[in-house]
Amino acid sequence: MTAQPLPPNRVYYCECYVNERRLGTYDAYSPREALRWVRISLMMIAVTLDEEPYREARAWLDHGQPAAARELEQGKRHTLTLKQRTTAATWTVSPIACPPAHQARA
């Protein structure tokens, strides 16, 4: 009999908003998976950005992810916002503590 893997003690709830309208959500089970979701969705729009928000996106893609991973591992929320003219796109990853499996079933 093989042992079942333990459920994670945290879930990372990911959201993307544009001008306060939610465009998408994702439940990740590790900081790495959460940041991958942000990175992929950010890369999909990066080519459409003006020069300054594009530079901000590139800076986050190239250098911001290690700090974001540390924040998430410490249980802190991470937010990235890019603004272009009258549009603001915001990605938020929120760690959510999960009870141990034996408590969740009670």
Q: Helices marked H in 7-99 — which ranges?
A: 31-46, 51-59, 65-73
Per the model's pLDDT, the better-predicted residue between 48 and 4 turns out to be 48
If pLDDT is split at 50, 70 and 90, which confidence band does 47 have? confident
Determine the Cα–Cα distance for residues 70 and 86; give it in Å rounded to an integer: 31
Residues in the chain: 106
pLDDT in tens, 69-78: 999 999 999 9
Determine the Cα–Cα distance for residues 14 and 26; give it in Å rounded to an integer: 5
| Cβ neighbours of residue 25 closer than 8 Å, sequence gap 6 or more | 13, 14, 15, 16
Side-chain-side CA neighbours of 13 within 13 Å: the count stands at: 5
Per the model's pLDDT, the better-predicted residue between 72 and 101 turns out to be 72
For tokens 């093989």, name the residue: 2
**9 pLDDT exceeds 90?**
no
Tell if the pTM clears 0.85, that is, is over it. Answer: no
